[in-house]
Amino acid sequence: MMGILVVGSVALDSVATPFGRVREVLGGSATYFSIAASFFARVSLVAVVGEDFPPQYLSFLEAREIDLRGLRIVPGRTFRWRGEYGYDLNQARTLDTELNVFAQFSPRIPEEFRREKLVFLGNIDPDLQQEVLHQVEDPELVAADTMNYWIERKPESLQRMLKEVDLLIINDAEVRQLASEPNLLRASRRLLSWGPQALVVKRGEYGALLFTDSDCFAAPAYPLETVRDPTGAGDTFAGGLLGYLANTGDFSPASFRKGVIMGSVMASFNVEDFSLERLKSLTYSEIEARYREFKRLSHFEDL
Amino acid sequence: MMGILVVGSVALDSVATPFGRVREVLGGSATYFSIAASFFARVSLVAVVGEDFPPQYLSFLEAREIDLRGLRIVPGRTFRWRGEYGYDLNQARTLDTELNVFAQFSPRIPEEFRREKLVFLGNIDPDLQQEVLHQVEDPELVAADTMNYWIERKPESLQRMLKEVDLLIINDAEVRQLASEPNLLRASRRLLSWGPQALVVKRGEYGALLFTDSDCFAAPAYPLETVRDPTGAGDTFAGGLLGYLANTGDFSPASFRKGVIMGSVMASFNVEDFSLERLKSLTYSEIEARYREFKRLSHFEDL
């Protein structure tokens, strides 16, 4: 089994949806990713929090056996995000972002993490993502996320970073925006021509698409009666996908497809409750059962 | 092989998309449905056009061996629709609707069509849809479409009609609106409780979902590099689905799933060009090849 190095944010989120609200709960891209990936593989986390970061959240991460030697605790307040969702749960509205200690985040990869074979670059400044890559030695698979904020502000940095990335995992609006092309297939082909060998397009309640030069795979989303909080769906998806790939060490097209389903499985659990509550109680046999449900959901016979 | 009776509109469409524009070309729900279904089964069409209806369009329908004994040609002008699409091809903007002879449409089913085993009620007034049902004898499968216009204006008629329908085929916004429920899964369950044994939720470029009491199937959409005109996608989908079911006479869950894929296949061809241009040149071996591509697109292995 390979290990995964993840770099990103660990945050305190305040979230309101039509189904409830929570205040200053555990959040952040690296957190969601790590917890989801920890069901499948060893995870080493690099991030920064303030001295106000609640110790019970550290204990939760430790209980999932996530290596926290790269989590710096510095004077000041932890990154905070406040947002809300309407009935259209595909679209978050950001009410407030307090970067706090995250504003000075300059990821230093501990010596003992530099030989990890899988690297996930969470959604941070593309220049920082590149800095991370220059500190790791010969990874076998580098995956990255990004968002409209960086597409608009640092397109050149982003394109430079993409040259060194094997797998880009972003949502469909971001694919179109980054490629300046409204047609998703053509936009995806353009992004692949910039460097990555594979692209995963996340489409929320519509599932995900996996593109490579020669292949396209469509994964459905699991129809849920209860979606209480979509926060972290994209990062738990990435955690399930990379976790599966690290676990098997198999980077074949068939394995990537299974990984995309595993990402969809983890995201489908995560949105059932606020913060990481659902993953806290999740068991591996529940994961396997839902994987089988995805199979039933999308299977049809040959003509 | 069973035959299909279809009742709906035959129209002249003027359409503008970012990829071109056409004026007064063949359109209408019953037209798209019939042409698509004609690749698989016998189709009998009931509709009305004006005396201005171009003879070459009649010849095209006849060339597809569609039984036109139920197509009335009456004094006056044919139904006309004018619409446009932006880069978001999921959303048509209606610029003008001229009902013309369609305003007085009161479908009379010819004696020789009343024993057809499959019936498709295109998107017309739900009271007229019911009138059609009262003229047919003991059909084995009744499918219906509707739209927001009728959901808003005739909800009671619609609910009455649904009691007599086996399969409802509508888009996701309509499912939510008709059920007054934002969650798609719960909305779908509510509609099933009103009568239909099956519900197909069309989601445009995101594919389709098939719901029954005990089952859910997610069909992907085929990622296309060229979507020139989405007009008629929903009706060619329904035509492919019902055509497949009529052809096989097999109404099992597995056959419904294959039918939903066949509907997706036909819709994916139709949007490649304006009006029915693409279906004009389509061959059955192209249909089979694309069905296999849908299989490749959505296949993944067990864990």
In a domain, A104, yes or no: yes
Looking at the 3D structure of chain B, how many domains does it have?
1
B116 has a pLDDT exceeding 80: yes
Cβ distance B250 to B259 under 8 Å?
A: no
B89 has a pLDDT exceeding 90: no
Q: A217 lies in which domain range?
A: 3-298
Chain B CB contacts of A266 below 8 Å: none
Chain A CB contacts of B224 below 8 Å: 183, 185
Cβ distance A77 to A98 under 8 Å?
A: yes
In a domain, B215, yes or no: yes
Q: Can you tell me the distance from the alpha carbon of B264 to that of B270, in angstroms, rounded to the nearest whole number? A: 10
The SS3 assignment for B97 reads strand
- Range 78-97 of B in CB contact (< 8 A) with A: 87-88
Residue A23: burial class (beta carbons within 10 Å; 0-12, 13-18, 19+): exposed
| Residue A40's CATH number | 3.40.1190.20
Chain B CB contacts of A184 below 8 Å: 205, 223
Interface test with A, best of B190, B298, B299 (most A CBs within 10 A): B298
ipTM given for this complex: 0.94
B167-184 pLDDT, tens digit each:
999 999 999 999 999 999
End-to-end CA distance of chain A: 39
Across the interface, which of A18, A295, A300 has its CB nearest the CB of B261? A300
Q: Which residues contact A298 (CB under 8 A, 6 or more apart)?
A: A219, A220, B217, B218, B220, B298, B300
Residue A33 confidence (pLDDT):
98
Cβ distance A245 to B238 under 8 Å?
A: no
Q: Can you tell me the distance from the alpha carbon of B200 to that of B206, in angstroms, rounded to the nearest whole number? A: 13
Across the interface, which of B223, B254, B302 has its CB nearest the CB of A216? B223
Query: What residues pair up with A92 in beta bridges, in sequence order?
Result: A85
Provide mean pLDDT across the span B222-233: 94
Per-position b or e across A147-170, b if 16+ CB within 10 A of its CB: beebbeebeebbebbbebbbbbbb
Give the C-alpha distances (Å, rounded to integers) separating A139 from A95, B137, B171. Answer: 37, 69, 45
Provide mean pLDDT across the span A126-147: 97
In a domain, A264, yes or no: yes
Cβ distance B164 to B142 under 8 Å?
A: yes
A77-86 pLDDT, tens digit each:
999 999 999 8
B90 has a pLDDT exceeding 80: no
A209 has a pLDDT exceeding 80: yes
B3-58 pLDDT, tens digit each:
999 999 999 999 999 999 999 999 999 999 999 999 999 999 999 999 999 999 99
Mark yes or no for CB contact A300/B87 under 8 Å.
no
Query: What residues pair up with A96 in beta bridges, in sequence order?
Result: A82
Contact of B19 with chain A, judged by CB distance below 8 Å, is answered with: no
Which pLDDT band, with edges at 50, 70 and 90, does B193 fall under?
Answer: very high
- Range 132-161 of A in CB contact (< 8 A) with B: none
Q: Could you tell me which of B292, B228, B89, B224 has the C-alpha nearest to residue A209?
A: B224
Residue B136: burial class (beta carbons within 10 Å; 0-12, 13-18, 19+): middle
The full length of chain A comes to: 303
Q: CA B215: distance to chain centroid?
A: 22
Mean of per-residue pLDDT scores for chain A: 96
Residue B268, token pair as written in the block: 């994916």
Mark yes or no for CB contact A183/B227 under 8 Å.
yes
In a domain, A226, yes or no: yes
Q: Can you tell me the distance from the alpha carbon of B237 to that of B221, in angstroms, rounded to the nearest whole number? A: 11
A150-191 pLDDT, tens digit each:
999 999 999 999 999 999 999 999 999 999 999 999 999 999
In a domain, A34, yes or no: yes
Residue B87 confidence (pLDDT):
81
Looking at the complex, report in whole angstroms how far the Cα of residue A176 sits from the nearest Cα belonging to chain B.
11
In a domain, B303, yes or no: no
Residue A267 confidence (pLDDT):
98
Q: Can you tell me the distance from the alpha carbon of B210 to that of A187, in angstroms, rounded to the nearest whole number? A: 29
Mark yes or no for CB contact A303/B209 under 8 Å.
no
In a domain, A303, yes or no: no
Residue A166 confidence (pLDDT):
98
